[in-house]
Amino acid sequence: MAELRASGLWPTPRRIATLSVHTSPLEQPGTGDAGGMNVYIVEVSKRLAERDVEVEIFTRATSSELPPVVEMAPGVTVRHITAGPFEGLSKEELPSQLCAFTNGVLRAEAARPPGAYDLIHSHYWMSGQVGWLARERWGVPHVHTAHTLAKVKNRFIAAGDRPEPKARVIGEEQVITEADRLVANTRFEAQDLVSCYDADPTKLTVVQPGVDLGRFRPRSTRVADRRRLGLPERGYVVAFVGRIQPLKGPDVLIRALASEPLRDEDVTVVICGGPSGSGLDRPTSLIELASSLGVSHKVHFLAPQTGEALAALYRSADLVAVPSHNESFGLVALEAQACGTPVVAAAVGGLVTAVTDGVSGVLVDGHDPQDWARVLTGLLLAPAQRLRLSIGAVRHAKNFSWDRTADGLLRVYREAVAGHRALIEARLAGSFSW
């Protein structure tokens, strides 16, 4: 191992099997279970392919009309695996279909020449369970990224939200123990993996997510962007972007809008996203909350946006709010800052890394609506401070890119492949020792 590292001859995998059981990279982020993980897989896969590493993404088919294989980009394919009913299956019910999904993955590999994949990268714990078995059958290393952790989510659970089940906790513990390498989004997530799951620190590497700096960039088009999105051209705009569920805390923003001193200002709060997770239990809860607080006229709901429309939303806002109760990283915060919009975020999880307090935005301790109202009002009424934060936001976001993320993952992959080969060689040497 030391000789390989010194010589720079670490083996680069030719083809990677990426596992994303519960959500497809082809789905629209902000709807259902699609979110930052989808963006992560899409952006990283494209850049790995640009580095001559083929990526095949295995995900569950959610429609009978989906083709078995889709080319997402040159060198990147998505394989739809039939496992359970196409529609009406919640994420909580998916563990019952892991055997069927695993069977589909193993069949796909069996139809190819031996040694089709050099490495498995699983995303989220259910994919990790599949990767655990595929690793044993294929004899290749298994890299795992959790993205979120049940024990951490339960520790910071929002009021009224459902805790993560014990089955998930056990599943995560198994995957974290068995994976060859673990990738954490931030050093805080790495610490959680060690302290909460007793992860082996020698298997852990921090590789931070990135942002598409070509798409998300500052532009002097605020009035046109607001007009395009149907937002008021005058007054302040505070935007929330993400899945609508208690974990993300959009209710904190609406309650802040009804609290002093924010309620007396000319402010429109934009809620951009769709119901997800436990938010599906009451998909109209935010509409009802705004009505009960008398601020319906100041809340504008938008369907999830993509591409340039999403960048336009970030640029149209004076501030972007991320009041999540927990985030493994917080891609929304990074995208907004890349557009030059300061972020007000909860001081939790990966948001402490995604936002530099007092430089690119402001971190808020806790989720008290009055505290949020005071912070938001103070910034809205201080244009010079917002300008300073805007400049800092762009500078901060430039420290992150998907190219940097892909390069970091390639280093992990090479170490995993080299370590796996060294282990096999050691076992073979032991088998023939006399």
pLDDT for res 169: 97
Task: Look at the alpha carbons of 396, 397, 398, 402 in this order and tell me if their dihedral is positive or negative.
Answer: positive
Is 243 annotated as belonging to a binding site? yes
- Confidence check: pLDDT of 434 > 90: no
Given the candidates 3.40.50.2000, 3.30.530.20, 3.40.140.10, 3.40.50.360, the CATH classification of the domain at 221-396 is 3.40.50.2000
Find out whether 171 and 164 touch, Cβ atoms under 8 Å: no
Average pLDDT of span 127-139: 95
pLDDT band at 2 (very low <50, low <70, confident <90, very high): very low
**Per-residue CA distances from 147 to 182, 192, 252, 273, 388 (Å):** 11, 12, 23, 20, 32
Please give the share of the chain, as a percent, with pLDDT higher than 90. 76
Is 321 annotated as belonging to a binding site? no
Dump pLDDT digits (tens) for 61-117. Answer: 988 888 999 999 999 999 999 998 887 777 788 889 999 999 999 999 999 988 899
Dump pLDDT digits (tens) for 8-57. Answer: 456 889 999 999 998 888 887 766 676 789 999 999 999 999 999 999 99
pLDDT band at 3 (very low <50, low <70, confident <90, very high): very low
pLDDT for res 8: 46
- Confidence check: pLDDT of 326 > 70: yes
**Between these two residues, 385 and 24, which has the higher pLDDT value?**
385
Domain residue extents for the chain: 10-210+402-432, 221-396
Is 22 annotated as belonging to a binding site? yes
pLDDT for res 22: 85
CATH architecture assignment, domain 10-210+402-432: 3-Layer(aba) Sandwich (3.40)
pLDDT for res 215: 94
Is 124 annotated as belonging to a binding site? yes
pLDDT for res 195: 97
Is 203 annotated as belonging to a binding site? no
Is 314 annotated as belonging to a binding site? yes
CA torsion 98-31-193-416 (nearest 10°) is 60
pTM: 0.90
Average pLDDT of span 192-218: 96
Average pLDDT of span 215-238: 94
pLDDT band at 411 (very low <50, low <70, confident <90, very high): very high
- Confidence check: pLDDT of 349 > 50: yes
- Confidence check: pLDDT of 202 > 80: yes
Average pLDDT of span 332-360: 96
Q: ω into residue 85 within 30 of 0, thus cis?
A: no
Q: How far apart are the first and last CA of the chain?
A: 24
Kind of pairing between the strands at 204-206 and 181-184: parallel
Is 30 annotated as belonging to a binding site? no
Find out whether 184 and 168 touch, Cβ atoms under 8 Å: no
pLDDT for res 32: 65
- Confidence check: pLDDT of 1 > 70: no
Is 28 annotated as belonging to a binding site? yes
Domains 10-210+402-432 and 221-396 share a fold: yes
Chain centre distance of CA 112: 31
18 - beta bridge partners? Answer: 57, 121
pLDDT for res 316: 96
Compute the mean pLDDT over every residue in the chain, rounded to the nearest whole number: 91
**Between these two residues, 279 and 363, which has the higher pLDDT value?**
363
- Confidence check: pLDDT of 5 > 50: no
Tracing tokens 């193993």 back to the chain, one arrives at: 106
Is 72 annotated as belonging to a binding site? no
Average pLDDT of span 220-246: 93
CA distance 280 to 275: 5
Please give the share of the chain, as a percent, with pLDDT higher than 70. 94
Is 305 annotated as belonging to a binding site? yes
- Confidence check: pLDDT of 267 > 90: yes
Is 126 annotated as belonging to a binding site? no
Is 36 annotated as belonging to a binding site? yes
- Residue in 415, 427, 413 with CA at minimum distance from that of residue 117: 413
Is 168 annotated as belonging to a binding site? yes
Is 398 annotated as belonging to a binding site? no
Q: Could you tell me how many helices (H) and strands (E) the chain has, helices first?
A: 16, 14
